[in-house]
Amino acid sequence: MNVFLGLGLPWLMATYAEVSAYPSTEENIGYYVPAGALGFSVVVFSVLAVICISFIVARRFVVGGELGGSVFGRNASCAFLVTLWVIYILLSTL
């Protein structure tokens, strides 16, 4: 699931470093991520992705495309989409 969220390379690096530094034994099962650890992040990502795609579709009908429009419209769209990204980062790290 991490690959779809853009976290594939850091996850791969962490697992490689963990496995090479600490081999799996009966006491140490290796690199382990609890199943519930990513659930909240996936839900937040999915909700914000639906909002983002809905916004882009609505913008296509209002402006006539995803890009262009008035200067205010472009800046407001940019600010809204960046805000969605910041919300995702904040909620995922808390």
Q: Provide the residue-wise pLDDT of the chain in tens; the chain has 94 residues.
A: 444 555 667 767 776 665 555 566 666 666 665 666 678 888 999 999 999 999 999 999 888 877 878 888 889 999 999 999 999 999 888 7
What is the reported pLDDT for 67? Answer: 80
pLDDT of residue 23: 62
Cα–Cα distance, 94 to 76 (Å, whole number)? 27
Q: Enter the pTM of the model.
A: 0.62
Residue 67 backbone zone (phi > 0: left; psi -120 to 50: alpha; other: beta): beta
Taking alpha carbons only, the member of 40, 45, 32, 34 closest to residue 3 is: 45
In what helix (H) or strand (E) does residue 63 lie, and over which residues does it extend?
helix 39-63
